[in-house]
Chains A and B, each alone.
Chain A
Amino acid sequence: DAKTTQPPSMDCAEGRAANLPCNHSTISGNEYVYWYRQIHSQGPQYIIHGLKNNETNEMASLIITEDRKSSTLILPHATLRDTAVYYCIAQNRDDKIIFGKGTRLHILP
């Protein structure tokens, strides 16, 4: 199983870039890295995903290392509404989806 590890919590000042790391050292070559976030007890929300190249959308940027063993989600200008639990997942070949406990991001005013 391609499991991921993330720090349990992080703080970021409002208006600054939030950089959330994820380690996925056992990821297979054809597995995508996905990021979701969960605000309070709402349903998780898709943020971004990538395979090898860096990706950017209206919400965030995803930086994947060349060896694909880790990645970083970047929220360029964090706001209080970005306070959430962020999950990094990598899908294994048996299609089981392992979310882990994620990183609880606190945005400080």
Chain B
Amino acid sequence: DSGVTQTPKHLITATGQRVTLRCSPRSGDLSVYWYQQSLDQGLQFLIQYYNGEERAKGNILERFSAQQFPDLHSELNLSSLELGDSALYFCASSPRTSSRGETQYFGPGTRLTVL
């Protein structure tokens, strides 16, 4: 158990809909990262937040957005969903920002299925 929690574990929705994925980092961790993993693909970095501020951005679509709240939990919002958005979405946390690299602790993921 990494100490990172993600809800829900599974989510099934239809195309065009909007969903919100939630992540609670390990106690004391200030950084939160979001990743997308499509079937048999590697982890695609989406975005990182540090202490409430956006810190780094990867290949995140404009239909996707995220935020980190004062209590440090984070939400990833996915809108106008398409079939291709079906994937595992992982959240990770680390104690500080990762200017040189820092160990990330991953949650169990949310499996999103878009029908």
Contacts and interface: CB of A to CB of B under 8 A. Distances in A.
A72 B81 CA distance: 40
Interface residues on B, range: 20 to 34
Contacts, number: 70
Nearest to B56: A95
Interface stretch (B13-21, B63-71, B72-80, B104-112): B104-112
A93 to B, nearest CB: 8
A97 B2 contact: no
Interface string A19-31: 0000000000011
Nearest to B59: A96
B27 interface: no
A94 B13 CA distance: 34
Contacts of B108: 42-43
Contacts of B8: none
A102 B33 CA distance: 19
- Looking at chain A's contact residues, the main secondary structure is loop
B100 A30 contact: yes
A65 interface: no
Interface string A80-101: 0000000100110111111111
B42 A101 contact: yes
Contact of B90 (A43, A46, A87, A91): A43
B45 A97 contact: yes
A45 interface: yes
Interface in B94-115: 97-101, 103-109, 111
A34 B106 CA distance: 14
28 contacts: A31-B100, A34-B103, A36-B104, A38-B43, A42-B108, A43-B2, A43-B92, A44-B104, A44-B106, A45-B106, A46-B103, A46-B104, A49-B101, A49-B103, A87-B43, A91-B98, A93-B99, A94-B56, A95-B56, A95-B97, A95-B99, A96-B45, A96-B56, A96-B57, A96-B58, A97-B56, A101-B41, A101-B42
